[in-house]
Structure 1
Amino acid sequence: MAPHAKFYWNELMTDDVEKAKAFYSAVLGWTFSEMPMEGGRSYYVAMLGDEPVAGLMDKTDIVPPYVPPHWFGYISVDDVDARVALLEAKGGQVVRPPFDIEGVGRIAIVADATGAPLGLMTAFDE
């Protein structure tokens, strides 16, 4: 698990996954591994050699269409549920309550006190 309070993962939410994959492959040398998701969707893990470095996914039906393609960051925390409660007490908002992703970790999608969105994540022990 990443140390508490450090950015742990970043993912690109885009309307054109294939174009993004071609771009980052050419510019950064990333390769991509496809992970099937529920509902027939796919998540693409960007790899730098053997190391996973980021994720890419189609944002269609996940965020409103007026939201442009963007990078989204996740911060590693010691306890997602406790940190979400503290976030709410300090003026943040919960966008999506904590949930588990099998083999990955427990995640919450939140907004800080200024309205900036981010993810909080506690990775499952490997």
Structure 2
Amino acid sequence: MALHGKFYWNELMTDDVEKAKAFYGATLGWSFSEMPSEGGPSYYVAHLGDEPVAGLMDKTDILPPEVPPHWFPYINVDDLEARLKLLEANGGHVIRPPFEVPGIGRIAIVVDATGAAMGWMTAAEM
């Protein structure tokens, strides 16, 4: 079971997935497996040996062009709905309400009280 409050996953959102894969493969030794998605760009899982360590995706059709490539973190929480109420009561807000990713968990995209965006999630049981 994933720990509450711990960074759980990171995704690189970029305009050039192939360049990013080449860079992280050469510099960190990551290999990549493709996870095709229905009606959208492919998602790539980065592996260090057999361990999945991050995700990469093309942001071209997801974010406005003025948003630069960036890493996007996800933090695991014990009770997503309860934590979202606390988030809003403490100056944050929800950008995208909770949604289910089969086999991964429930995720909401949020902004903290300083304006920093991230995902909060309750990971699926492994």
Return the TM-score normalized by structure 1.
0.97
- The superposition leaves residues 48-95 of structure 1 with CA deviations (integer Å, 9 ceiling, x where unpaired) of 010000000000121111000000100010011111111011110111
Which segments of structure 1 move beyond 3 Å, counting only runs of 4 or more?
Answer: none
Structure 2 residue aligned with 1:83: 83
Structure 1 position 41, deviation (Å): 1.8
The CA distance in 2 between the partners of 1:88 and 1:38, in whole Å, is 32
SS of residue in 2 equivalent to 1:87? helix
Taking only the aligned residue pairs, the percentage that are identical comes to 76
Q: Distance in 2 between matches of 1:94 and 1:18?
A: 31
Q: Does 1:7 align with 2:12?
A: no
Q: Which residue matches 2:53?
A: 53
2:18 equivalent to 1:39: no
Residue-by-residue CA offset, 1:4-26 (whole Å, 9 max, x unaligned): 00100001000000000000000
Write the distance in 2 (CA, Å) between the matches of 1:66 and 1:40: 20
Aligned-pair distance for 1:2?
2.0
Pairwise CA RMSD of aligned residues? 0.8
Amino acid at match of 2:10: N
Partner of 2:24: 24
Quick one: which amino acid aligns to residue 27 of structure 2?
Answer: V
How many residue pairs are counted as aligned between the two chains?
Answer: 126
Question: Which structure 2 segments of 5+ residues have no match?
Answer: none
Aligned-pair CA distance for 1:44: 0.3
State the shift of 1:36 in Å: 1.2
3-state DSSP of counterpart to 2:86: helix
Amino acid at match of 1:112: D
TM-score (norm 2): 0.97
